[in-house]
With several copies, the nearest count.
Chain A
Amino acid sequence: MTDRTLSGAQAIGEALFQAMEQDANVIVLGEDVSGGAGLGEPHEGEMGGSFGVTRSLFSAFGPTRVRDTPISEAAVAGLATGAAAAGIRPVADMMWSSFTPLAFDQIFNQAAKMRYMFGGQATVPVVYRMAMGAGLGAAGQHSDTLYSLYTHIPGLKVVVPSSPYDAKGLLLSSIEDDNPVLFFEHMGLYGQKGHVPEEPYTVAIGEASVLREGSDVTIVAISMMTVKAIDAAELLSADGVESEVIDPRSLSPLDVETLRRSVEKTGRLVIVDESPPRCSIASDIAAIVGEEAFGALQAPIRRVTAPHTPVPLSPPLEQAYIPSIERVLAAVRSTLA
């Protein structure tokens, strides 16, 4: 039991399956979420979305609750939003986060604002799931992270799991949540293996996870940058530098308290984030912690981010785009200099 291992993709698929079992109001819709499902019959070889995550759903829950859609991101997000406002719990598969700009009005002007503008009467329990991130050579129009954009927007929650365990628990929380949630699944998460209990469980949105304790420097890493942060921490440990590695797990809301407390202890902060730097979550955390833990800071807060560029195709450029362990090490060392 305790060593039951799933991939990130399987963990997410299991969360969807269990959420649909528990609550008949949960539906899944999106391009190719089954694949050919529209033809009506459950069938072998379902596509199950771009990464096979939703493969088991159509056969189990049928065409009313598992819906392939045309390529119409605005309609998919918009119908999901409206259906949520009308009382069901849609999980919209947006495929890649880079495609959400086509649905941006529905998410930004409608889903996010509805509750506030209507004085609290609207409840909009919709989840937009999406793959994200560089590393597959998918280049400019597929590889964006975009969680920083959504974190800017009041009314949305933004969740960025970095392990199969968290992915399952956070997705179940997201589906239960009465607010619109953007659920970001990094490429690197799908193949990652980890312990995942079989029974349904939740991981609270808004609680950071301390992946490694340390007293010399705090490294906050977003989504799969946690892997680089942990690797860097091990290398630094060999040099006698003990890093505290924190995964915020959700960016909106952000667990400021855990971050602040850690930096008050370590006096140093490095943030590792795969998005471009400007108005990013890296900047945001730096600003917040820089303000709240000002007195404790012994060195400038360093941000290790992607460059201010779209994502390039060519492998050496793509590798230069993604924050590297070397850059994390250099940043940590600069705070200790």
Chain B
Amino acid sequence: MSDLDRDTLLALYESMMTIRMFEERVTREFRKGDMPGFVHTYIGAEAVAVAVCAHLNDSDYISSTHRGHGHCLAKGCDPGDMLAELYGRETGLCKGRGGSMHIADFERGMLGANAIVGGGIALAAGGALAAQVRGSDAVAVTFFGDGASNQGVLHEVMNLSSIWQLPVIFVCENNGWAESTPVEYSTSVANISDRAAGYGIPGVSVDASDVLAVYDVAGAAVDRARSGEGPTLIEARIGRMVGHYLGDPEGYRSKDSKLEEQSRDPIPPFEQRLLADGVLSDSSIASIAAGIEVVLDAGVEHAKTSPMPDAADVEAHVYAPVQ
């Protein structure tokens, strides 16, 4: 078990709560009908993004998925700018061009959500390649799902990253499902982490209802990468507490199995533990939540009052100007 100081523990907690409350707010706002596009929330997976990104700084890169809000927030993106993006506003992180599935923040090394399943894997490894070429100690993390683990590009990139000893960490968020398809059906191996052996890199599975377990595993992988020892594959096991996307009727799974998955929520056990250890108190929990609520209120207000992009600008931002 990690021997973390109070501040780190609190930061992990607050970061997880920020994601959870952000996603719950997005869920409510989305239902009102004025948020465009498709939204996939990160509810239930918070421990992964938070525990991994706790080891990263702004020079480090991450690439994300269609389910990217948690990665953004954990990497330090501004919730208000994110909300403005979700609402398609000119003030959004991507000026409203991308939305939930294509949100990015290059200043924070956040190389983008990706609506192509598996689409971010090579990009993050590219970030790691750039770091290696420059001789910096930056690392890169690519988050992807169990579904994405069957995309060919993962195989290619794990192989290439291994032979070049790139500072990249492969984080597979195994929530048991790819849309309606269960991982037991789609994937020919018991532990996705077992595939690491085929690439000569360490592979480890971790129960991601335990944020501290993920923290340790991720810390070791980031250290390895930073010190030039190459990639690691981490399989983080989570329950998919919600539907695949906002609005998913979920006809393909039973109420019982969903309840079972919801019981793997990473937040309550961590909260209990921090309460027991005196790191949190009922009142500090309330005040953290209140603080986040203030940020989210302001964020939603910012988003909804921001201007839409001008239709006349539809052709802007396709090409970088020639110097």
Contacts and interface: CB of A to CB of B under 8 A. Distances in A.
Q: Do A and B come from one complex?
A: yes
Contact of B126 (A82, A309, A313): A82
A277 to B, nearest CB: 11
Interface stretch (B19-27, B111-119, B262-270, B281-289): B111-119
A246 to B, nearest CB: 22
A320 B107 CA distance: 29
What class of interface size applies to chain B in its complex with A? 35 or more
A76 B92 CA distance: 32
B88 A35 contact: no
A177 interface: yes
Interface in A322-337: none
A79 B96 contact: no
B125 interface: yes
A141 B308 contact: no
Nearest to A74: B153
Interface in B74-125: 88-90, 92-99, 101-102, 104-107, 111-112, 114-119, 121-125
Contacts of B93: 118-119
Nearest to B124: A82
Interface stretch (A8-16, A108-116, A224-232, A256-264): A108-116
B97 A64 contact: no
Contact of A315 (B153, B308, B315, B322): B308
Interface residues on A, range: 35 or more
Interface stretch (A84-92, A187-195, A213-221, A237-245): A84-92
Contact of B153 (A78, A88, A116): A78
B122 A74 contact: yes
A47 B129 contact: no
Given A35-B180, A78-B153, A83-B130, A313 B317 contact: no
Interface string B292-321: 000000000000000011111111111111
B253 A119 contact: no
A178 interface: yes
Interface string A59-82: 000001101111111111111111
A36 B178 CA distance: 10
Contact of B97 (A44, A117, A177): A117
B116 A118 contact: no
A104 to B, nearest CB: 11
A300 interface: no
B150 A319 contact: no
A307 interface: yes
A109 B119 contact: yes
B124 A121 contact: no
Given A72-B156, A74-B153, A120-B317, A64 B133 contact: yes
B160 A72 contact: yes
Given A121-B106, A307-B314, A307-B315, A71 B178 contact: yes
Given A81-B126, A137-B37, A72 B185 contact: no
Nearest to A309: B318
A65 B315 contact: no
20 contacts: A35-B179, A44-B251, A70-B147, A70-B163, A75-B153, A75-B157, A78-B125, A81-B123, A82-B63, A82-B111, A82-B122, A88-B134, A102-B116, A121-B107, A125-B320, A142-B115, A157-B319, A314-B90, A316-B311, A321-B314
